[in-house]
Amino acid sequence: YTGYLCEIAPAGVSKWSAVKRLAQQWAIDDAEICAVGDDVNDIAMIRAAGLGVAMGNAQPQVKAAADRIAPSHDEDGLAEVVDWLLQDA
């Protein structure tokens, strides 16, 4: 996209902090979490998760932070990530 993005959240709140809070409530270790994203607001989550995945259409910085790169969202990349996880289970 060529537009602008503005995210407003309280200090210390991010996608990762929300995932982390749920993981703590459910006794899930960070190493067991798979985070998938495509934009710079996903980088912290992708780096912190046990498996960080960037979508094929992700920003270059996101791809650099990821452990794996999935096909783009237009190519059902998220479904492929789920397949990876089920094969490894």
Digit-coded pLDDT (tens) for 44-83: 999 999 999 999 999 999 999 999 999 999 999 999 999 9
pLDDT at position 1 is 58
CATH superfamily placement of domain 15-88:
HAD superfamily/HAD-like (3.40.50.1000)
Q: Within 13 Å, how many C-alpha atoms sit on residue 39's CB side?
A: 7
Task: Outline where 1-89 has alpha helix (H).
Answer: 15-25, 43-48, 60-65, 77-88
Kindly list the domain boundaries of the chain, sorted by start residue: 15-88
